[in-house]
Structure 1
Amino acid sequence: MKSFNGCWTCRVRRKKCDETHPVCSTCVGLGIICHYGQEKPEWMDGGIKQQGMVKQLKRDIRENALHRLPLGERAFYASASASADALPGPEPFSDPQLIFLAAENSVVSSLHESGSSSVDRREDDGGGGGGESSGWPDACLLMFYMENLLPFLFPFYRPSPLQGGRSWILDMLMSSPVVRQTALCQSAHFFSLALGTTTCDGAWAKVLAQTRAAFDTLRRSLQDINGRGGIAGHEREAVRILASIMQLQRFDIAMSSFENCHAHLTAACALLKLILESALPDDAAHHVEPNLANIMSRLGPPSWVLPSQCPVQVPSAEETALRFSSALVIFDDIIASTALQRRPTLHEYHHGLLTTSTPSVPAPVDMEAVVGCKNWVLLQIGEIAALDAWKQQCKMVGNLDVMELVRRATAIKDTLTARLAHLQSESPVSKPSGVLDLLAPHGQPSPDRADQHCLVTQVWACAALIYLSVVVSGWQPASPDVRHHVGQVISLLTHQLSPPSLLRTMAWPFCVAGCLAEPAHQGYLREMVETLRPANLFGTLRKALEIMQDVWRDGRGGGDSSMRDLASCLRNQGDLLVLLV
C-alpha cells in the first residue's frame, strides 16, 4: 500500500521516500533539505508555489551533483546544462544526455594524455565510418571484438548456443550504428595493443579518431531520442544506447581512465531507470515495481521466429541486451556505492530484478551469467552499502543507534553465512557433455562453469563479510572473523583460481581482502598481480594493488587506523571514484 509518511520533499518530487527520520536517505544523498511534518508546507499548493519549489529542488540537485563530479568534468557539464532549467523533462542531472556530454570531453582528453604527445592532430575527426578513420577494415575489427575482446572482458558470459548464444551482439552490431561504433572504438584500441602499435603516433591517432566517432554517434542517438519525446515508445533505441554506454564504461576502465566512470555510471543509471519506468502507467505511484515482462514486450519480436511447439524460444536482441546491460549497471552501481558510502542508486529495483519468489523461475537479471557471482551476494553487498550510508547519516545528525546498527547487520551476516555454508557444502552441478562439447575447439570441453562460479561466489561472499565487519566494528584487521575471511579469499585465489587471468574479474574482493591482509600475506598478493602480463590489460588489478600498498605503508608507518574505512581506501586519490570492476 502507498505510504503517506514520507517527507514532503520526496512527495513534491514524486519520488519514493524511505521515511528515515529526522532526514530521509534520498534527501541526504542528494544534499537537499528534507521537509518532514504533519502540516502540509505552504508551498505545497498544487499551483505556482509548488512548481517553483520543484524547479528550486532541481537546481539544488544539479548544483550538488556538479560539485561531486571530478574537477575536469565540472566546467564542461556546467556549460552543457546552463540552460537546463528551461528544458522540459526529468531533473537535469537525471538526463542521461547531459551527463554523457560531461564525460565525452573528459574521455577524449584523457585518451590524448594517454597517447603520444606528438599525435597527428590532422587525422580525421572520426565523423562517420569505422574503416576509413581507423585504418583497419570494419570486418576485421568486429571479428576481433566478437572472437577475442568479448571473451576477455566477460569471461563468464557464455550463453547457450541453443538460445542464440552471443548472436544478439552480432545482430546489434549489424543493425545499430551506436553499438557498432562503440565496438569499433574498443576493438581499435585492443587491436593496436595486439599489434604492438600503441606507441606509434599514427596508430594512436586512429584510435582517437575511432573514439571520437563513437562518442559522436552516441551523442546523436541521445539527442534523437530526446527530440522524439523521451523513452516511451522508443525503448529499443534506449536499450541500444544503454548497451553502448556500458561498453564505453568498460573501455574506460580497461584504459584505467577512472576519471569518467562516475559520469558514465550516473548516465547509465538514469537511463535504466527511465527504461524500467517507461512501462508504468502515467498515474502509477512511484513505489510500483516495474514489471520486466511488460518492458520486454515493447522491445519487438524475437530475432528468430521458431515454431510455437519448439521448447526453446530465442529472445530478441534488445531483450537480451537489456538483461545483459542491466546486470552491468547494477553491478557497477553496487561497487561504486561501497566507495561513495551511499545507498546504491538502483537499490529500490534490486528486489524486483535480482530475486524470485519461485525457485524454479530465474530472476529477471542473472548476475552470475555476466560477472560470475550469484545474485544473493551482490544483493547483500548492496544492503551493506545502504547500511553504511544509514550509519554515516545518523552520525552526521548525532543520533546513531548502535543496537539498531547491530540488528540490521546481523540479518545481513546471517544471510551471507548461511548461503556461503550451503555453497561450500554442495558439489557444483556440471552439465553432461554432449554435442556442443564435441563442437568446441579441438573437441575439448570448455572449463567447468559450475566450479568457476562457485569459486567466484565464495570469494565475493567472504569479501562481503569483511566489508560488513568494517562497517559495523571499524578497522580491525586482527579480528578473528576478519582474519578468517581474508585467509579464505587468499586461499581460494592462490590454490583454486584457474586460469589466473580470472583474477581481473574479482578486483573488488581482492582489494577488500588485501587491505586487511597480514604482512605475511602481502607478498603473495603482490606477486599475483605482478605475474599477470601484459600489465596494461590488468589495469584494475594494478589499481587495486596500489590501494592495498598505500594501506600497508600507512600501517607500517604507525598511521591512525581508527578513522579508516573501505570507502576512504577506495577513494585514496581524493574524490576520484576507482571503480574496481
Structure 2
Amino acid sequence: MAQATEQQTIPAQGKATSPKSSKMHRRSRSGCFTCRLRRKKCSEEKPRCRACRNLGLECEYKRPNWWSNNDTRRKQKDHIKSIIKRTKTNEKTSLQDATKLPPNMRHAMPPPDMYGRGDSEESDDFDDTALDPAFASTPGLYDPHAQQYFCHPDMFGQGYTYEVDVKTERQMYVNDIPTRRDSSISTFSTFVPPPAHSVLPSFTGDDYLQSTQFETPTEDWNGEEGLDFNFFDFSHGPQVPQSTQTAQIEVDDCDQPLLNHLLQNVLPMVFPILEVNQHGSVKSDVILPALETNKAYLHCCLSAAALHMKSLGLNTSENIDGDVLRHKFAFVQEVVGNLGADSNHLQVLEATLGMISLQCITGQADDMERDIPWHQHFQAAVELVRKLDLPQMLEQIPAQGHVAHPPFNMTLTAWIDILGSTMLGRAPVFADTYRNRHLAAGSTGLAELMGCQDNVMYLLSEVSCLDALRLEKRLDDIGVCSHVQSLGQQLDATENPNETIQHPWSSSGAIRPRQLSRNITAIFRKALRLYLCSLVPGFDRYGQASVNLVQQIADMLKFIPSGPDGFDRSLVWPLLIAGSSSTPSSPFRKVLAERIGLLGVSGNTGNFGRMYKLLNEVWRRNDDIILSATVCEATPVTAGALSPNSSPLPPLNTNVGPGSVPQIRSTQEVHWRDVMRENCWDFLLI
C-alpha cells in the first residue's frame, strides 16, 4: 500500500520566484536508514526515532556510508543485532539483580517499567501503541490494571508476581471477503491477578499497519525473512548530495497537477512485484532520484500521468492531449540532444526504458496509434546498453554468493527484450547473454522485478528463438519438433516438487513475496509450455493437451490476488497466450471476464486493456465459423460481455461441455500476432 505523502510548494532557492515555476518538496516516509535496514516502521522523530532511542542505536537520516553496497549493509545489520542483544541482556540482568535485593534496599533502585527495559532513556515512550499511555484515555479501551502499572515493587515486598499477555487481533474485509488479519501479543508485569475469563476488546486506534511490526515469532512466514531486500544495483549517476528525506522536483505551475497525479496514482502501478519484494524501493531508488536528476525521465513521466488522467476521464486540464504531446516532444528533444552530444548515456537509457515501461501501464489501446512504437524506443535502448557494457557486467556476476547485484537497467532491458521478442516474432537481442546465464545458473533479477523466475524466462528466450527460426523457414518440421521436445524436457527440469502453488497471504494477511513469485512462475511455466506446443506443425487448440493447459492456468489464477490492488496486470503475457488458445467453451474465458470486472476502470487501461482488446478480436475471428455452426457452449465473453466497442455475439448451443471437440471448426485459424499486424497494433504485452 502506498504511504501518504506531504507536499509543500516553496519558491526555488537562489532564483527569483515567478508564477510559472515552483519547486515541490516531498518528504519521504521511508524513515531512518537504521529502521529501513531492520525492516521496521520508523516514527521519524528527530534527532533520533523512537526505536533507535529505546534500543540505543545510532539513528541515520542522511545516507550513511554502509548503505552503499550489500556487504556493508549486512555487516551493519549484524552489528545492530549484537547491540540489541547486548542491550536486552543488560536490561534483563538489571531487572534480576533488582529483585534479589533486600526489601529495604529496593527503594534505591529505579523502578523497572512494565516491559522490563529498566532505566532506559525515556522509558515511558513505548513502541507498542496498544499500551502507550498516550492512548490510555481512548474510549472503549479496557484497562483493568491501570492503577498498578507504576506501583513501586517494595509495596508488596517482592517483584512483580504476574505476567499478563495481551493479544490484539484485527481483521480487514474487502467486499465482505477477509483479506488481512493482524495479530500482536504484548506482555507486561503486574501485582494483581487478571480477572478470570477477561478479554480486552478490540483496540480502535491507529491504522492496522502498525500492528505488523509486533507480530509474534511464531508467525508463519515460510522463510520469507531470507529475502535480499537490496538485490539490485540502482545507479542514477552522480547526484548533488542532499538529505534523503527530501525530493526536489522542479515543474511549471501548469504541470503541478500532473506531478501530483503521477506520485499519487501512477507510481503505485509501476513495478508492483518489485514493490512487494523491496518495499519502498520503487519510490526511493527508481522514481524519485530519476525525477530529480533526469529531465528526459521527468518529461516521459509527466506525459504518462497526463495519458493516465485522460484514460480515467480526469480531464482537469482543458488541453490534456496537448499536455501529452508537449511532454513527449520535450522527452524526444532531451534524448536527441544527449545522443547528439554522445553524453549522459545512463540517463538517456533510464528515460528510454521508462518511456517503454510507462506506456505499458497507462493509456488505452487507441492512444497507441499516434505514438512512437515501443520497439523503436527499444532499438535506441539496445545501443545504449551495449555502450554501457551492461550484458558483460551481468555475465561477470557470479552465480553463487551475493558479492555483486544485477544492474537494474539490464534487468528491465531483459524483461522487455524476452517478452517483446514474442510480440515481433524475432529472437531476443541479448539471447546469448540469457543463454550464458542459464548455463551458469546465474540470476538476472527477473523474479525480483516481474515475478517469474529466471530459469523459466531463459527458456522463454530459447523458445522465442525457435519461433523466429520457424517463421524464417530456417528449420523444417522435423527440426522444429526435435527442438520442441528438447525444450519441453528442460522446462520439466525447472519444476520443483517442494514449491507448491498456494495462496500468497500470511496468517496476518500480508503478501509473502516468495510464494507470490512461485505462483506467478507456475502460471508463466504453463503459458510457456502452451506457447511451445503451438510451434508444433498442426497444433490444434481443441486438442486435449491444449485444453488441459488452459484449464490449469484458469485454476491457478485463484492463487493470484485480484482487483485494483492485485497482480493481474503482472500476468498480461501468460493471459494472452492462454486466451488465444482457449476455446469458446473454455472456463478460462469466464474466469478472465470475472477478474476484469474486479479490476474496474483499470481493466480497460494499459497493457491489460490492450491484451483484452486483442483477445476479443482473435476470438471474434477464430470463433466465427464455430458460432455460425452453433456447436459450442456460450460463455459470458462469447455471449457479448466484452468491451463496449465489440459487437454482441449470438448465443450458442450448450449441448457440449468444456473440452469437447466441436463437429465443425476452422482449419486455418488466425494467429494473434497476425491480428496485431493487420490492425497496426504495436503492443508490448508484458
TM-score by length of 2: 0.50
Deviations 1:349-369 (A, max 9, x none): 3335x5472x5xx52x31222
Match of 2:380 in 1: 270
Give the Cα separation in 1 of the matches to 2:281 and 2:402.
7
Q: Is the 8 A contact 1:134 1:209 kept in 2?
A: no
Give 5+ residue unaligned stretches, structure 2.
1-248, 630-663
- 8 Å contact kept, 2:307–2:363: no
State the partner residue of 1:389: 468
After superposition, what is the alpha-carbon deviation per residue over 1:223-243, rounded to whole angstroms, capped at 9, x for unaligned? 222322x36xx3333333333
| Cα pair distance change 1:185/1:251, threshold 3 Å | farther
Q: Is the CA contact (8 Å cut-off) linking 2:501 and 2:518 kept in structure 1? A: yes
> What is the CA RMSD across the aligned residues, in angstroms?
3.9
Tell whether 2:329 aligns with 1:216: yes
1:478 maps to amino acid: Y
Q: CA deviation at 1:342?
A: 2.1
Q: 1:290 is matched with which residue: 351, 371, 392? A: 392
- Go from structure 1 to structure 2 and tell me whether the alpha carbon gap of 1:523 and 1:216 turns closer, same or farther (over 3 Å shift): closer
Structure 1 residues 489-545: Cα deviation after superposition (integer angstroms, max 9, x where no partner): 01111x322134422221221122122223142434333324431143341343244
Report whether the alignment pairs 1:496 with 2:559. yes
**CA 1:514/1:160 → structure 2, altered by over 3 Å: closer, same or farther?**
closer
Q: 2:499: which partner in 1? A: 426
TM-score by length of 1: 0.58
1:290 aligns to what SS in structure 2? helix
CA contact (8 A) 1:380 1:416 kept: yes
In the alignment, the residues of structure 2 paired with residue 164 and residue 527 of structure 1 have an alpha-carbon distance, to the nearest angstrom, of: 30
1:19 maps to: none
| Structure 2 counterpart of 1:450, from 514, 522, 533 | 514
Q: Counterparts of 1:172 and 1:487 in 2: how far apart (Å)?
A: 42
Residues 150-179 of structure 1, C-alpha deviations (whole Å, 9 max, x = no match): 332422112536989733421111111122
Q: Which runs of 5+ in 1 are unaligned?
A: 1-127, 281-288, 296-310, 438-443
CA distance in 1, matches of 2:358, 2:413: 12
SS for the counterpart of 1:394 is coil
Distance 2:669 2:309 in 1: 41
2:284 paired with 1:166: yes
Contact 1:380 1:412 in 2 (8 A): yes
- Does the 8 Å CA contact 1:377/1:457 hold for their aligned counterparts? yes
Larger radius of gyration: 2
Distance 1:343 1:134, change over 3 A: same
**Structure with the bigger percentage of helix:** 1
- CA deviation string 1:18-56 (max 9, x = no partner): xxxxxxxxxxxxxxxxxxxxxxxxxxxxxxxxxxxxxxx
What are the superposed Cα offsets for residues 432-470 of structure 1, whole Å, 9 maximum, x if unpaired? 99xxx9xxxxxx664111222111111111111111111
Structure 1 residue 294: deviation in Å? 8.7
- Change in 2 beyond 3 A, CA 1:461/1:258: farther
Aligned to 1:546: 616
Distance 1:429 1:526 in 2: 22
Determine which of 351, 354, 364 is the counterpart of 1:244: 354
Task: Provide the rounded CA distance (Å) in 1 between the counterparts of 2:676 and 2:480.
Answer: 24
For 1:375, give the aligned amino acid: D
Decide whether the 8 Å contact of 1:373 with 1:460 is kept in 2. yes
Q: 1:487 to 1:246 in 2, by over 3 A?
A: same
Task: Find runs of 4+ consecutive structure 1 residues off by over 6 angstroms.
Answer: 162-165, 428-433
Q: 1:497 & 1:457 partners in 2: Cα distance?
A: 11
Alignment partner, residue 305 of structure 1: none
* Structure 2: distance between partners of 1:174 and 1:274: 21
1:107-146 equivalences under 5 Å are 130-134=251-255, 136=257, 138=259, 140-144=260-264
**Partner of 1:224: helix, strand, or coil?**
helix
Matches within 5 A, 1:502-521: 502-518=567-583, 519-521=585-587
Deviation at 1:251, TM superposition (A): 5.3
Q: Greater share of strand residues, 1 or 2?
A: 2
Identity, % of aligned positions = 17
Task: Give secondary structure in 2 for the equivalent of 1:166.
Answer: helix
Supply the distance in 2 between the matched residues of 1:348 and 1:214 (Cα, whole angstroms). Answer: 36
Q: Is residue 334 from structure 1 mapped to residue 454 from structure 2 by the alignment?
A: no
Q: Tell me how far 1:572 sits from its aligned partner.
A: 6.6
C-alpha change, 1:541 and 1:204, in structure 2 (3 Å) is farther
The yes-or-no answer on 1:533 pairing with 2:600 is yes
Partners of 1:340 and 1:385 lie apart in 2 by: 10
CA-CA distance at 1:279 after TM superposition: 3.8
Q: How far, CA to CA, are the matches of 1:379 and 1:566 in structure 2?
A: 24
Residues in 2 aligned to 1:141 and 1:189: alpha-carbon distance in whole angstroms? 11
Q: How does 1:218-237 map to 2 (within 5 A)?
A: 218-228=331-341, 230=342, 234-237=344-347
Instruction: Tell me how far 1:472 sits from its aligned partner.
Output: 1.2
| Residue 203 (str. 1) matches residue 313 (str. 2) | no
